[in-house]
Each structure stands twice: as structure tokens, then as C-alpha cells.
Chain A
Amino acid sequence: MTNAHSILSVFLLASFLLNNTSAQDSYVQMTKDDEPVTYWRMDKNADGVYLNSAGEDPLSLAAKVVGTIKQTELGPTLPEFPLFASEHAAIEITNPPGRLVVTDPGDESPLDFKKGDPITIEAWVNSSGLQNNGYRYILGKGRTNNKGFSAENQNYSLRLSGKGGAAYLSFLMRGTANGKQDYHRWESKTPVGVGDGWHYVVITYIMGTPNTLRGFIDGKLVAGTWEVAGDVETTPVVDNDELWIGTSLGGNPNSTFHGSLDEIAIYRKLLPADRIAQKYEYRGQELTLDTSLIKQDKVRFEVYENISDSKSWSMRAPVFLESYDRDDLVLFRVPHKYTPSGVIDDRPIPFMVRAMGRFVIPKGTQQILVRARNGARLQIDDSQVLDIPFFNISSSSHGSVPKIDRTLAPHIRPLYRGDSQKLISIEGDGEEHLFVFDMIVGGKDRRPECGESGIYIAPPDEDFRVLGHGDTVLLTDYHFPPYFQREWQAIEKLNQTKRIAASKDEAEYWNNRHKHAAMITQLFKPLSQAGNAFPERSNNLIDRYLNDRLAASDLKPTAALNDLQFLRKLSLDTTGAIPSPKVVAKLLENQNDNRRQDWIDYFLSQDAWADHWVSYWQDVLAENPNIVNPTLNNTGPFRLWIYEALLDNRPMDQMVTQLIMMEGSKYFGGPAGFELATQNDAPMAAKAHVLTQAFLGVQMKCARCHDAPFHESTQQDLFEIAAMLKRGPQVVPSTSSVPLEGINPEDLAVTISVKPGTNIQSHWPLEDLASDRLPAELVRYKDDSRAQLARLITQPLNLRFSQVIVNRMWKRLIGYGLREPIDDWQDSTSSHPYLLDFLARELARNGYDLKHVARTIFESDVYQRTSTDLVTNDDGHSLFAGPVTRRLSAEQIVDSLFSSSGQPFDAGAMSVDIDGARRVTNSLHLGFPRRAWQFSDTSNERDRPSLTLPFAQPFVTVMELFGWNGARQSPISQRQDEMNVLQPAILHNGILAQQITTLTVDSNFTRIALQSESVNELLDSTFRQILGREPSTEERDLVAPLVADGFESRIVELTTTERDELVYPEPAPRNLISWSNHNSKDANSVKLELRKYVKAGPKPTAELTPQWRTQMEDLVWALYNSPEFVFSP
């Protein structure tokens, strides 16, 4: 094959474009010719009334808007729909539901259909989003819940019914048959396309007459059944209630259409089938293949949307969305999609990914193995060589456990649960060939995941390698996982580029806000002059404010940290882990006077900054995703949004605004996940509590159920903010109230000023803390109460916001707040008000840049002093002679253990639904942790071994003992992590501790042991690796005997076979159990076997004599268990 053949087919625009005058909007003409009684083309006049294009008077039977209707989407048009030549608007129905309402002119009106009346209803629908079970109204006459009408007065209605992720055409009417009133419901057996553009739906029927209902989808007659009350003679309910478009039942979200509507017409006749067929013409653009876009030695990935959710390749025109390049033909995850504000958005599910590249097929017989999570196909040069069937695993939990098959290659990584594979054998010619791999991702309400999809190649009986241009990677349990993790991370980089590009305009807006903020803060009264006590211990204004007060007491600044201690502390506070000796050595080459500033810059620029700080905000914002059946006040996994915001060093005011706006993806990491609060009776009240405590230091915990006895905030206040978040009135549920039955109000210590059931209007109750005073040109979404709340909290005149943020940072870095408790300022005063103001202004005038504040604190002398016990006076103030001694956080401990040992962070998937068979709303997949913040609670409340996560559990166990909360039902400003005996215990004998102290082939300590030329060198390196320093003479003398004995003869020469065995450790039955098969007999035993495997720990290396190795391991153990390891200098 030559490259000249590589462009297989290029369809641009179909030929009718050249000759389209005769087709000019012929659909509209046909419709008018058939004389409907109403024809809403979604044209509106200046008053916003949607006109009736059917007759002479466009205002007769016109529709008015109630609520919000978006008019943005294009209706069906060229080139896909040649019968519509001109671009034409449609309406989009969004939540909270808006609707079009048509008034019934009265008795015997054209909208009333009695028994025996012929009716045709037609509409164009572009249905989007997840189709949960429910009936989505296109239009309905009656059943509006309007006052004065029976609730059961459906004269007729046309709807889409959602079932198992597909949508079916549905007709519903209320009628009286045999003296009994009943609903009569017809439903099509063929689904209407979802997520792939416009479809034409029609029903024709002679009202109340058996055997007359016909349904049509896209011009074709479709079969259907009367599912309720049967196809019988019936007398329809007729009254003068309204006709609604887009929703029903008073605007019930479950009855509301998802997506766009256009060209809705009602006829008082039966349109014949041939006419209906004539009105639908579709010309999709075929998928194009332009191989000239493939870059040298790259694989080009293209993402397409508008894919029908039908488990079939016979799709309508996929819409090309974006492309990116990678080295290899593997697909483990797809980059995120971003909203214009730069937060993770949902892609319409399913979507398609095409990956293409040119690869040399080596001479001789080659096996090509394709693995794919969902329907996929592979084309080599001009021909399709194989296809993989669509995902077909039931979520019922009783599936069987697959047998591990390792017959394809000597060390092959077994197939991941949920993936399918096919193998072909070809004769290689040593030439380059074009590979094109297509895969449909997600669908049927399942998460869009990719598993370990990719192309792998090998001669027979050899281990497969990844087909690609990068380094050779073998498909074995040993080589593949780190590669997978690297690829996963590489997409993270792509994501960053994408979101910065997507949010350019947004960034511009915030730049302007920050200019304004800088200007405003200049106008503030100058701060009081700082003094000049302890000038030699004063690096910046922080120290001058502190030292002033310190000098007036009998305290003195504590001793300064040396460079090694400073680097260790700085690394922990920026990257969340102790620094590697290599980095330290490199940084120490810099011995300039301002070296500490350089070091601060270095550490602040590390991506790991985000890894360290994300868990802080997870706590503060009560991020609480649950991987199984979320019911415990669970949120979406908006940790990903926090992570990305920190990675981009997004300004704090922008970040808080994004949080409050709750846009983007709910289940896949956008701030919309904050909106979720499963089984909570008033989610927005919970969020209001989180927000005021996090960003204003206003505590409303008690106000959830009653006026707080010792807080100024009332229940009314909290619910007013809740209503702002809800963008409408918020009811106080009875479950968020104090039951007063049988209680004498005199006995109450609290005030109940709001009765349950009260509807509270949105209003800003904290006027004295913050008011909305942003200049008009910076005000966006003026009428949106959420946007208003975001402005109120973050606008620069509201210095309280900045104060609370810098106080939080101060506490995290120095150990105690300038004002305490940090989340409840009502009754406290600040110990150093000028310092607090200084830092707050620094934040506000420097673009709300958290790193700027961190840098200011890192540069201060107080940060660079040795730590000390907390001493406070009667006011709860500290004088900060030095920072407060801090034990490492749970995350810092776990991350430091692994960064120093160098072993893989092998925690498996944070999911019990690894094949993705369950619905999006029931199970999450939180990825494959590489850092501690990525874990979540592992409990499933079912006590089934088959639902445990044996690889993640040891991490979670350590972290929980050190105060981490996997489940955050409520926000946490200060962890409850008092010292207890189980903390050192788990580091002595826990599974994780055993792993870390085992000298495995990939352990840094094995490397040190092999490379050290003397016992002294060995001790120096080992101490540096764990404690960041060399041993003292005394320590050296005490521990040297431990490793000196046998040091000279410690190394074992290995044969090749023995080396191979090192590379291929014992295989474990991983990735076989998911929710979909966890109730099968073998599932428990597989998980128990894995647990045993994890508990046994990794195999120690054979490169060292067992005797000496255990001596070295005991040294490593002692160093990790020294209290020095768990405290920040």
C-alpha cells in the first residue's frame, strides 16, 4: 500500500447543494398545503409570542412563554435536511422547565378533539441528554395541573418515553370506556434517535377509535402497542384547559422534554403515510478520513459527537469536534470537554473516537490484538480487518467471573473486565501501513470509559507490545500499568491546554476584575505602620507585624531552620511530600544570598502544588462522592475541578464563582457536582452552609433547623441564601425543623422562627458583611441570583472574603489562625488585625493569586523558624514566636512514603464498577490514584468481600487513622486527628508499611543498597531518602552495626532466568470483578485471593542476600517509624 491511497473517501457537501432552489423550504410549503390548524415554526414576534403559521392570523392560537425558553439551537436545515433550505430557529427546553402555552379559545375549539375526530400531530425533535425513565412532553392538551381543571384531563399528548437509555414515541389520552375513566397509552417499539440531531415524529389517530393509531418516525411507519388500557372505544376528555409545549403536570422536571423542538403542527385530518414519507429527507455527511492530517510518528485522535445511542455503526452524520496527537494507538481516556468558563463539561454520550496512524508491520507472521471497551472496528489500509461487538454486560450483578486466559502470549496481561478483544494474524512485509481504529465511547446511560482499549502487536508466542511510536511497552502485568498511568497523566496535560484555550474570554473578564480590584484596594485606608522589633529576624511585613507584638511579651522568635529543614518543610507545604534527595542536592548548588526565594519559586511552580492543596478544599467544600449507590449526602466528584483550578492557579475569586455557579459536569468532575446532595432534604441549604463557612467565616450549622442560640444567623438567613442558590423560593422541609409536637415552647433553648413548609424567597441576609457593589460593566448575568451570590462573596470591596481565605492559608502553613475558629468569626477577634488586613489586601490586589500569598508567607522569617507548641492567651490569640508544630497530614504521610521509596503507587481503580455496566447515577469511577487525594471512602455498607477494593484499602486505612475523611458528609475546616496509638501502630505493621519497607526491585532502598560503596555512604543515602538529612555521629554509631554485618557480601549474582523472574512477579487475578458479577459465586473468592496477595506484599528482590536484606529493611523500618518522619520541621 502506498500513501497515495490513504484518502479513502472524502464527502464534502452533497450534490443537492448545487441545485437547491426548487427545494427551498419545501417542507414548510407541504405543511401549509395540508392546512393544519396550528403550525408553530418557533418564530416569535417582538413581544416574544410564538406565532401560528397555519392560517391567516399568526396571533390566533399563538403560544406565549412561561418561564425561560432558549431560542438558540438551529432547527433542521441544510445540508442534512434538504427539505429545509434556510436556517431556522428552534426552541430549547431547559431546566428549570419553561414552556409554551396556548390558550384554548373555548368550547368546540380547533384544539379540542372529541371521539371520532381525526387528528395528526407532527413535530421535529432533537432530544439530548440522559433519558432517564419518564415521559417527556412534546405537547399535551390538558394535564397542566391548572386550577379549575381536573388533574386527569389529557385530551391528547405526544411525548417521548425514556426506557433503558432510549426514547420511544408515546401518545397519551384520557378517556371513558365501559363507564370507567382511564389513561390510554400507546408507545412505539422503535426508538427515536437521541443525541444525534433532528428527528421527525408523527402520530395520526381517529380519537377513541380502535385500530386507527399510526406512529411514524423519520417518515417511516413504526409498530407500537397500547400499553395501558388498550386500544378500545373510548370517549376522550375534552375541556378548555391549555395546550402546553415542552412540559406538563405543572412543569414537573420528569415530564419535561430534554432538547430542542421545532415545526410542531396539529391537523384535524389524517395525513396519509405517503405524504409523511415525502416530508422527511435526510442526507448525512459520511465520516471523512483525511490521512494527510497524521503527523510523522504520531497517532491522530479525532472526537466525533452526534452519535446515535443505538449500538450500531449505521449512524447519522457524526460531527467532528476536536483532534489531538499521541504517540501510540491506545485509548485509555479521552480529554475532557470544557465549558467557555473552563470547567469540565459533559460530552453527549455516546461519542466516537477515531485513532489513526502509520506503522511498520515487521516481516513475518504478526498477531494483532485489538482490545476495546465498546463497539470498535479496525481498518488497515483500505479494508476493515475486524470489529469488536458493542458493550453487552448486564448491570444485574449476577454475571459470571471470567477465567483468566493467558494463552495468547507468555506474560500477557489478562483482559480487563468490560473490555472485549479479537486477534488476527497477518503476514508482515516490513512496510508502513495505515491503521484506523474507531470506537464508540459510552452509551445507554453508562459512563464514557475506554478500559484498556488499544492495538497490540507481536509475532506468535511472544509478548505483545503496544502499537505505537513511543518506547516499547509490553502488554504484561508488570510493564503495562505504569505505562497506563503515564498515558493517563499525559491526557491531563492536554486537558490543561484545552481548558485554557476554551476559557480565553473568561480569563479576560477576570483580568478586568482584577484590575478593578487592584484599583479599589489602593483606595483603602493605609495600614498602620509596622514596627521594627527583632530586625535580624524580619524578612517582610509579616514579621514586622508579628515581631512588634512579640517584643512586647516575654517571648522571642524561635531558632531559624537550616536549609535542609527549610527545603523539607517547603516541599511538604507545596508539593505535599518530602523532597527527593536529588532535587535537594540540585537546589543546594545554589548558595546565593537569595537562594531561599529561588527555592520558593521552584516549589511553587511544581504541578504537585495542586496535588497537595486539592484535599484541603475537598474538606472545606464537603466534596463527598460515593462510588456505590450514593445516598449519604453525596456530591459529584468535583475534586477534578478543584484539582484543575489549582493546577492552573486559577484566581480564588474566579474559583469561588465557578463553584457557586455549579456549571459543567455533575458526575465527571465539573463544579456541577457540588450541586448534588443525595437524600438531603434541602440540598441548597446544605450548600449555603458550606459556602458561608468556607468563604465568609459565618457559621450556619445550627441554622439548618432552628435559629442558632449563640449565632446571629437565623434559619431564615440560611434559607434565603439557599433560595439564591436555587434561583427560586426554597421550602423549609419538616425534616429540617425541630419537631414541636408535645413540647412546651417555654422549654426550648432555641428560637423557631420559621415554620416547616414556609417558602423562603431569595434574598441576601448578610448585608453588613458584603454588598453587591461591582461596577456595572463588570456585572454579568444580572438577573441570576446565583451569579449575584458569587459577586457578593467575591467582589473586592468585600475584604472579609479575602481575610477568610488568607487566614485559612495562614493556619495551614503556620499551624494556627490569626483568627480562630477559622470558619466562625462571629465572637472572635483577630490576634494581628493589621497583618490579616495586609495579607487580605495582598490577595485582592494580586489577582486573588493564592500562590502570591503563599510566597509571602514562605518568605517570612516566621515560616522559616523552628516550630513550637501552641501557646494562646485568654482571647485565644497566639503571638507566633514560631510556627506551631505540625504532624504531617494523612496525605503527606502516604505520598511521602511512596515518593521516598520509589515504589509504584498501586491502588487499582477507585470504582466497584470497573466495567462501567451500571448507570452513571449509581456508580462512579474516580480513576486510578497516583496521589493520596484521589481516594474516596471505600465502604459499600454491604459487607461483601466481592465489593471490596483490596488494593486501595491499605491506603485508606492508613489515611483514616491519620484524620483523613473518605466521606465528607459535612464540611471540615479542622480535621479531628488527635494523636492515638493506632497511628504509629499502622506504620509499624500495616500493609502499606510492609510494602514500603520491603526491598523490592523497584525500591529506592534496593538501589541504594546495591550502589553504596561503604556502610557510611549507605547510611547517608538512606537517611537522606527518608529524613532529608545525614545521620549524626551518634546515630551513625548506633545503627551502623545493623547494616555493617554482611555488607561486603550482600550482593547476589543472578542468572538470566532469575532476573526474568524478578521482572515478572507472581500474577494476581486482578480486574475481573465488577458490580456486574459481584454476586456470582466466585467473586468473593477472587477478592479474598487478591486481599491475600496484597497482604503478602510485593516480593523482595533476590539481588541481595536475604539475611542482609532483612537487616537493611529493619533500618528502613526504623527510619520511617521515627517521629521525625511524621513531623514537619
Chain B
Amino acid sequence: MPIINPSRRQFIASAGAAGALAALDVSHAQEPSPFDFAPGKAEHCIMIWLGGGACHIDTWDPKRQGDPATRKPGSDYRAIDTAVDGTQVCEHLEKCASVLDRINIVRTTYHELIDEHAIATNMMHTGRHVSGTVTYPSIGSLMTYHKGPVNESTPPYVLIGYPTVSRNSGFLGSKHGFVYLTDTREGPSGLARPAAITDQRQKRREDALKALRDSFLNKQSSKVVQQYDSAIGQALKLASPEFMSAFNLKSEPDTLREQYGGEFGQRCLLSRRLVERGVRFIEVSHNLNFVNGTGWDTHNNGQDAQHLLIQELDRALSSLILDLENKKLLDKTLICVATEFGRPAAFDGGGGRGHHSKCFSTVLAGGGLQNGRTIGVTDELGMKTLEQPVSVPDLHASMHYALGIDPRKLVFDDDRPIPTTDMGTPVRELFV
């Protein structure tokens, strides 16, 4: 690594200039808690990602019923009561409704990026607009950067879904990127030992490798070479049964596996197992477009079978909450259910819905928060915010704060100071 002119960097860190969009003096930004309520104590975060843009009025923010057939605007489903007085959700979230007292719904998340999934997804993961001068890290990379690994032999950030630039580590570098897997039966790409490599072969390999490592280190003893060599040792450990057993879902009781449901449910179950092994941040993607053809991006006839996706989410999410609670992990684990935007009350020509980002729902559960709160109020069709808009920086600030991270703490892109969130403020009701 180059040594950045240390005097200037130290100067910045001490004098404290803030980044572009938040050029506030550090006397505000660097205080341990800039807010008058205490930070949370969660240790882990599971972010469930509903890729495609989940319709808020068909899930967490039900409105008067419409009809896709006649293009009458409104929710596609009936609303039902929940464990929280005065808060209703749609009928396909029945199981979540019964545990809604462990869940907060933020009904007024918003941004203004609507044309294309990628840019909205990027906003929801990084909390920033693309700038061209800085590549911002995802919230997963930021959380693991701040909190570090729970233990050295566990990757801090696991993605169960496809690798994307928005989920990656931006200027924090590949060290703060994710390990990913796309099939719970296979384990993470690159870590799991191929089936053909028996223990005997592995030993053979490691013995030969040992000879070569030793002979090279005798010749070349640079620090970087030593570092790489010790990383080899750690990698061998990571691929060993100790960590890889996390991916053996078969060791869970059948009834529990059944309760979680299909591949998405198994992803959630795996997340719990990863939390148990010390993974800090897990993103679980739920956009299996074979369920209804389009995933959550329910244009046209994607709407027809959207309820199957919702039911799948209902089953997996409620199971995860109860399972974590049984294992005494719920207070330590923040669950976030996020999506890139919501969808409008009106139906398109094919009976589906377009994109809507003026207000949409995000869910924050467990994590030692004040649960059972419903944040923000939208209008009669869920098209506009009436009370308490929650910006993406505020949402991210709430998540960081739940893990005890100062959401305005500076991180550095080379020597450029950048606040962890775009000067977001945690949503007070979640903490007090």
C-alpha cells in the first residue's frame, strides 16, 4: 500500500473535514453519539433483498382494494389485522402479521430514482447517488468495515445471491467485499472443496503445497509474501469442515426446514446458521423469477402470481424471526427487508404495475429495536407520503445505529473523508 502523505491525512482526521454532500464540521460529525438517544447493540444484520421492486400496497402498506382486471387502482389483496393494534398488512402476510410485534414497518422510504433497477438498487445499497468521482461501498461492506469480523476464521460478509457492483465494497477495496453463493446446497463459490477432493487428496495437496511454501519463504521473505502465505493457511482452514458445516442444512430438523419453505426459506435458515458462526452481515436475495415469471418486478402478468412470492416471503421471514428468537439471537440480529422501490396503485395495460419511489415500505425487525412500530403514513392509495418521510440515508443510519455504528463516522477514500451515511439520522422511534 502506498503511504498517503501522512501529515495531510492526519490533519484531515484531526481537523475533520467532512465529505462532499455533508460538508459539516467534525465537531458535530465525530462525537461518539450525535443523537440524543442511545445506539443499539445488535451484532449482526440480515438484509433480505426483494429485487425488482416489491409493491408496498400489496404487502406492508395495504390500501383499499383495486382490481387488475378492470384496472381499478388499489391493493390487489385484502388487508388483515396484525399483532400490532391499528396496523394492517395484506392477507398473504398472515404469518408475519402474527409476529408483527417483533417487526417495524417503515412505510415512507423514498428516493427519486425510478427509471432503472440498477440505479435504484445502487441507491438502496450504498445510500448515495452515483457521482463519477467516488465508488461508494454497500451497507454490508460498511458495516463489516466498521465492526470487523466476529472471528478471524469467518468471512464477515456473505451474499446469498448474485454478485453485483452495488453490493460490493467500492472504495473500501476487495478486502471488504462479500463471499457469495447462489445455491444453498453448494456453499459459497470458491470456498467449498469440490466433491472429488477427498480428505486423502486434500492432505496430499496440502503436503505438497507445504513443501513449496516453505521453500519459497526461505528465498523470499517480504512481508507481503508472508502475509499471503498466512492467508493461505487461513483459507485452508476456511474450507475445512469447521466452517463449511454451516452449509449443511440437512443437519437441521426436518420440521424446521419445512417451516422455512423452499429455496428462499432455506436461504433464510442458512443465514441464521451463518449468524451463529459469526458472520456479520448477510444479504439474502429473494427474486426467484421462476415463481411468477418476473420476480418482484411485476409488470403485466407478473402480477398474476405475485401472491406466491409474498407467501414465500411470509413463511420464510416469520420462521426466521421465531427461529432467531428461540435461539436467543433475535435481539442481536437486525433483519431488514428492503427493495429498490415500490409500485403504484394503478395497473398497467397488462394488469401489472410500474415503478414508484415516492414512498415504499422497508421492514426492520429484531436487532434489539423497539419493535412493533409503524413509521410514516402514506395517502389513501400509497402514492404520497403524508407523515414522516424516511430518506435512504436515514434508513441506513437507523441500521448502522442499531449495530452501534455512528452513521456519520468518517471513512476515507484515499484521503477524502466521507461520512458513513449521507448525514442520515436514525429514526428515533426505533430506539426510544
* Chain A residues close to B by CB (< 8 Å): 622, 626, 628-629, 631-633, 677, 679-680, 683, 685-686, 689, 701-702, 704-706, 709-710, 735, 738-739, 743, 747-750, 752, 816-817, 820-821, 824, 827-828, 866-870, 872, 876, 885, 887, 937-946, 948, 953-954, 956-958, 960-963, 965-970, 974-986, 988-991, 993-994, 1032, 1034-1035, 1038-1039, 1042, 1079, 1081, 1084-1085, 1091, 1095, 1097, 1110-1111, 1114-1115, 1117-1119, 1121-1124, 1126-1127
Contact = CB atoms under 8 A, between A and B. Distances in A.
A679 B231 contact: no
B405 interface: no
B225 interface: yes
B227 A979 contact: yes
B223 interface: yes
A750 B17 contact: yes
Nearest to B186: A1095
A1053 B138 CA distance: 55
B222 A985 contact: no
Contact of A821 (B2, B174, B216, B297): B2
- Please list the 3 inter-chain residue pairs (A to B) with the smallest Cβ-Cβ separation, ordered nearest first: A976-B173, A939-B164, A686-B132
Given A622-B132, A960-B177, A629 B17 contact: no
Of A709, A739, A977, most buried by chain B (CB within 10 Å of CB) is: A709
B208 A704 contact: no
Contacts of A710: 8, 11-12, 17, 415
B360 to A, nearest CB: 17
Contacts of A1038: 208, 211
Contact of A991 (B16, B167, B190): B190
Interface string B211-254: 11101110010111101110110111011000000000000000
Contacts of B22: 738
Of A622, A943, A986, A1110, most buried by chain B (CB within 10 Å of CB) is: A943
Interface of B: 1-6, 8, 11-12, 15-18, 20-28, 49, 51-52, 115-119, 121-122, 129-135, 155, 161-169, 171-175, 177, 179-180, 182, 186, 189-194, 196-197, 201, 204-205, 208-209, 211-213, 215-217, 220, 222-225, 227-229, 231-232, 234-236, 238-239, 285, 287, 289-290, 293-295, 297, 340, 413-416
A943 B161 contact: yes
Contacts of A887: 224, 228
Contact of A979 (B5, B12, B17, B224): B224
Nearest to A1039: B208
Contact of B222 (A868, A989, A1039, A1119): A868
A893 B133 CA distance: 28
Contacts of B24: 743, 747-749
A868 B225 CA distance: 10
A993 B209 CA distance: 15
A749 B294 contact: no
Contacts of A966: 165
Given A821-B4, A1038-B208, A985 B238 contact: yes
Given A705-B21, A988-B235, A1042-B208, A1079 B225 contact: no
B295 A944 contact: yes
Contacts of B161: 943
A1115 B289 CA distance: 43
A945 B414 CA distance: 36
Contacts of B191: 982, 985, 989
Contact of A820 (B3, B168, B213): B3
A118 B343 CA distance: 51
B208 A979 contact: no
A1118 B129 CA distance: 45
B116 to A, nearest CB: 4
B416 A967 contact: no
Would you call the interface of chain A mostly helix, strand, loop, or mixed?
Answer: loop
Contacts of A1097: 194
B117 A946 contact: no
A632 B8 contact: no
B195 to A, nearest CB: 10
Of A948, A975, A983, A1032, most buried by chain B (CB within 10 Å of CB) is: A983
Nearest to B340: A941
Contact of B133 (A686, A953, A957): A686
B174 A749 contact: no
Given A685-B132, A747-B27, 6 more contacts: A748-B23, A749-B17, A749-B26, A869-B224, A939-B167, A956-B163
A915 B287 CA distance: 25
17 contacts: A632-B130, A738-B23, A749-B15, A821-B414, A827-B5, A942-B52, A942-B287, A961-B174, A967-B135, A969-B135, A977-B174, A978-B1, A982-B191, A983-B228, A1122-B209, A1123-B216, A1123-B220
A1009 to B, nearest CB: 16
A867 B215 contact: no
Contacts of A680: 130-132
B25 A749 contact: yes
Nearest to B164: A939
Given A876-B6, A983-B231, A1034-B215, A629 B23 contact: no
B189 A957 contact: yes
B190 A704 contact: no
B287 A944 contact: yes
Nearest to B290: A1084
Contact of A988 (B116, B131, B236): B236
Contacts of A869: 222-224
A982 B23 contact: no
A542 to B, nearest CB: 21
